[in-house]
Amino acid sequence: MRTVGGRTDRVVVVGAGFAGLAAALHLAGRGRDVTVVEREPWPGGRAGRRDIGGYLIDTGPTVLTMPDLIDEAFAAVGDSLSLRLDLLPVDPAYRAMFADGAAIDVHTDAERMAASVREFAGPQEAAGYRALRDWLDRLYRIEFEGFIAANFDSPLSMLTPQLARLAGIGGFRRWETMVKRYISDPRLRRVFTFQALYAGVAPQDALAVYAVIAYMDTVSGVFFPRGGVRALPDALAAAAQDAGVQFRYGSTVTSLQRNGDRVEAVITAEGDRIACDAVVLTTELPLTYELLGRRPRRPLKLRAAPSAVVMHVGCRAIEPPPAHHTILFGDAWDQTFTDIIRDGQLMRDPSLLVTRPTAGDPSLAPAGRDLLYVLAPAPNLDSGRIDWSNTTGPYTQTMLEAVEQRLLPGLRDGAEVLHVDTPADWARAGMAAGTPFALAHTFSQTGPFRPANLIRGIDNVVLAGSSTTPGVGVPTTLISGRLAADRITGVPERSGARHVDLKAPLP
């Protein structure tokens, strides 16, 4: 594995999102002097926050999985997740509701989920679920250490015995094709393939290796921190600060001072010069290339993932209370991907994720009120030609009506739309193509074909975050931060507990 040469005693991390925080913790734990520069007054990056009228709103991710990866970041400085954060399991992980009126609770416990599937679709589908769960477990265990959590220097780095094992269990076939082997009910298949939206590719086109996302939430479990998702970056930053990491909030990096093929200082908008031996950039990809004075040298243009419209709603306390996460599948689910990815238009039959964070922490809303987070997949600005200045208001009402009709009767009586983010808003925040989901996980943007975390011609800059390896999502950006630290220090002999026992027999 290639690493940064020369001295690496002083490292500047640009950005205090999950990747930057993980990089800072691992670097500090390995004896580096670390400074984190963040343009916002708080940590979190895409896990943003907005407080309105007594509502504490998380504007970024709401689904947290793989707590062992979170704990690994704390453990890098001898700290612990359990000491820093009250992380609550979400059960059911989701409630899935379909256009025909059917619904199923998605449990991560195998026995409870098998019973749920049996009641929903019969014993044959329950047996299929068990076989699918076994396949997802094998997929994850083969894929994690060898591919997700590894640095690649070139595509040849992938040529290992694990690649053959991954191919042997269907990892390079299509995601939906593999799920169809086990599940015949088309509604139930959606529970194990809708996560393809996170990867930015339709399930029928996505590689089956990305079904590990389904493993993360349907097998490993979904969690929620007391205090909201913002409590997680706050806790990671506090642990880093206690380990000696310096944070400069409200400070924007405007340039990198070069000396030959090395960056020797980071310059901020305030005119501060922060000397360094190495830099970790977690900035959005357009800004990253601007700071580096580079453009990607690729034969094909980078393809952005679809975007989303996210609406935050305050309402009267809901009785009976819905699940923490509810997926409202439209009848034209397959058409959804055609609409937003191929045609660049709004969904004709919306499928929505409705999250009620007050299910995990009522203090996130004023007394007697609930807080809802409603996400609608939408085309990004590269593929869509939507005038969001005129579309946002009417579409917000369409989303609100859909939630009222399909999940929460009477919702609009006393509800208030607190805030809405559209692709235009994500673009104003610097996100390429107006999407918070970064680059789509197509084959040409997967593994060693994704933008690398080392920069040719600049010896001491490493990238981290959603647009580099391994990809999009809270778990993967945490891994990305650790991979960036590995590029600077080399892989330590003891890097913490392994997540997967690859010597254990596969089922």
pLDDT (tens digit per residue) in 161-205: 778 888 899 988 999 999 999 999 999 999 999 988 877 888 888
Kindly tell me the burial class for residue 86, based on how many C-beta atoms sit within 10 Å of its own C-beta (0-12, 13-18, 19 or more).
Answer: middle
* Section 437-465 average pLDDT: 87
pLDDT (tens digit per residue) in 288-346: 989 998 776 665 688 899 999 999 999 999 999 999 999 999 988 888 888 998 899 99
Q: Left if phi > 0, otherwise alpha if psi is -120 to 50, otherwise beta: which for 479?
A: alpha
User: What percent of the chain has pLDDT above 70?
Assistant: 95
**Which residue shows structure tokens 């058409």?**
335
Cβ 195 vs Cβ 214: under 8 Å: yes
Lowest mean pLDDT segment, chosen from 99-103, 159-163, 221-225, 292-296: 159-163
Q: State yes or no: cis peptide before 377, omega within 30 of 0.
A: no
Structure confidence at residue 146 as a pLDDT band (50, 70, 90):
confident
> Which amino acid does the sequence have at 381?
L
Structure confidence at residue 495 as a pLDDT band (50, 70, 90):
very low
Among 193, 198, 204, CA closest to 440: 198
Structure confidence at residue 136 as a pLDDT band (50, 70, 90):
very high
pLDDT (tens digit per residue) in 17-57: 999 999 999 999 999 999 999 999 999 999 999 999 999 99
Between 483 and 147, the higher pLDDT residue:
483
- 247, β-bridge pairs: 36
Cβ 351 vs Cβ 300: under 8 Å: no
Total Cβ atoms within 10 A of residue 348: 12
Please tell me the predicted confidence (pLDDT) of residue 485: 98
3-class DSSP assignment, residue 22: helix
Among 340, 349, 353, 342, CA closest to 310: 353
- In this predicted structure, the answer to whether residue 506 has a pLDDT above a threshold of 50 is no
3-class DSSP assignment, residue 333: helix
- In this predicted structure, the answer to whether residue 273 has a pLDDT above a threshold of 80 is yes
Please tell me the predicted confidence (pLDDT) of residue 242: 98
DSSP tag of 447: G
- In this predicted structure, the answer to whether residue 12 has a pLDDT above a threshold of 50 is yes
Please tell me the predicted confidence (pLDDT) of residue 359: 97
Please tell me the predicted confidence (pLDDT) of residue 494: 55
**Which residue shows structure tokens 């943003």?**
48
Please tell me the predicted confidence (pLDDT) of residue 105: 97
- 310, β-bridge pairs: 375, 421
Please tell me the predicted confidence (pLDDT) of residue 294: 79
3-class DSSP assignment, residue 247: strand
Among 282, 102, 139, CA closest to 219: 139
Mean pLDDT (the chain) is 92
Burial 138-164 (b: 16+ CB within 10 A, else e): bbbbbbbebbbbbbbeeeeebeeebbe
The token pair that represents 182 in the structure block: 């086990």
3-class DSSP assignment, residue 233: helix
